[in-house]
Amino acid sequence: MMLSSCGNESNKVTREIENATQTVKNSKKVAESASDMQKNVQLLRTMEHLTKEQWETWLPETVLGMPLTTPQINFLPGLGSCSANYKVGNKRIRVMVIDGAGERGASGVGPYRMSSKMDYDSSDKRGYTKTAVIDGVKAKKSYVKTSGMYSLSMFYADRFAVDIETHEFTEDMLEKIVKELNLSTLKSF
């Protein structure tokens, strides 16, 4: 019993040290990127966010063969934003995109901008969070075991905050969803 207890405590301390080390490395990366992030904020503040018509042009009618069920465009006051759900039975995908253009948009995408500079690699009995590169974009990928939910967050094209959440899908489907969303279209507006 004593050996088991000491082993668990040792594992806990090791995880805490690894987490602290990762936090220090991430803090350093964010600090080194501060100047670039500030330039990005200034540029985004001078831009106009996407219009309802532009969001409608981009928003896919289906993703992985699942129909669009509840689209919401410009649901956040003062921000260009789009949210959509795709659902068949218990399988569902939720997509949210915030346009970083404009005063409020530049601030609204701040956490995503900062997160894009960080590396993630943590896991426990509840799930994990790790860094992934999908379609050339660094993303934060998470899994919650109890609900079987996968999520992906990214700062796309130095402008758009993108969140994808899936239920009843496997991890490898996240990359297919990103491809079907055709996010590159957003850059053309």
User: What is the C-alpha end-to-end distance of the chain, expressed in Å?
Assistant: 64
Question: How does DSSP assign 75-113, residue by residue?
Answer: -STTSEEEEEEEEETTEEEEEEEEE--HHHHHHHTHHHH
pLDDT, residue 132, reads 96
pLDDT tens readout for residues 70-89: 999 987 778 899 999 999 99
Contact by Cβ (8 Å): 37, 109 = no
- The distance of Cα 130 from the centroid of its chain, to the nearest Å, equals 11
pLDDT tens readout for residues 11-47: 555 555 555 455 555 555 555 556 788 999 999 999 9
Choose among 103, 104, 107, 96: nearest CA to 154. 96
What domains are there in the chain, each with its CATH number? 33-187 (3.40.1000)
Q: Flag whether pLDDT at 1 surpasses 50.
A: no
pTM for the structure as a whole:
0.82
Q: Flag whether pLDDT at 4 surpasses 60.
A: no
pLDDT, residue 27, reads 53
Q: How far apart are CA 155 and CA 117, in angstroms?
A: 10
pLDDT tens readout for residues 108-166: 999 999 999 999 999 999 999 999 999 899 999 999 999 999 999 999 999 999 999 99
Contact by Cβ (8 Å): 126, 146 = yes
Q: Furthest-apart CA pair in the chain: how many Å? A: 66
Q: Which helix (H) or strand (E) holds 189?
A: none
pLDDT, residue 3, reads 45
